[in-house]
Amino acid sequence: MLVFGWVILLIIIILNRYLKKKFNINEDNLPFRSYSNLHKWLERILFLGFAILFVVVNYLFFDVVEDYLFFGFGFILFATRAFMEYKFDREDKQYLLTLVWAIGLLVMFVGSNIHMQQTIAPYKEVVE
């Protein structure tokens, strides 16, 4: 699973460099730039919801669910950010880079879900 994550991360970095060259995208290093008041509050609510969900799942279930939460949250956050960048600042084409990250995190989310299902299946048979 670790190799899978590193391969996806490498693909994301290569795609981002290619898109920067092809579309001449100047990336600004402001990760929390908000485009509207709605966008600012939506990201705050997402962060707060993730923190609460992470603490509840971590302390109640003591299971390896952090992968699901991390990748799922990252996908939702980056997809929301890509939509806001597309809607409010389309000419910079910054949304393409954010969209690549969102798709990469979605692939990691699905991959970790499949991996977790395969590792849990033998234990379910033993319990039954």
- Nearest residue to 112 via CA among 76, 74, 72, 83: 72
Report the Cα–Cα distance between both ends of the chain, in Å, rounded.
27
Identify the pLDDT of residue 98.
92
Identify the pLDDT of residue 124.
67
Identify the pLDDT of residue 51.
86
Per-residue pLDDT of the chain (128 residues), as tens digits, is 789 989 999 999 999 999 999 999 887 766 677 888 999 999 999 999 888 888 887 777 655 566 677 888 999 999 999 999 999 989 989 999 999 999 999 999 999 888 877 877 776 666 66
Q: Would you kindly state where each structural domain of the chain is located, as residue ranges?
A: 2-25+34-127
Helix (H, G, I), strand (E, B) or coil at 26: coil
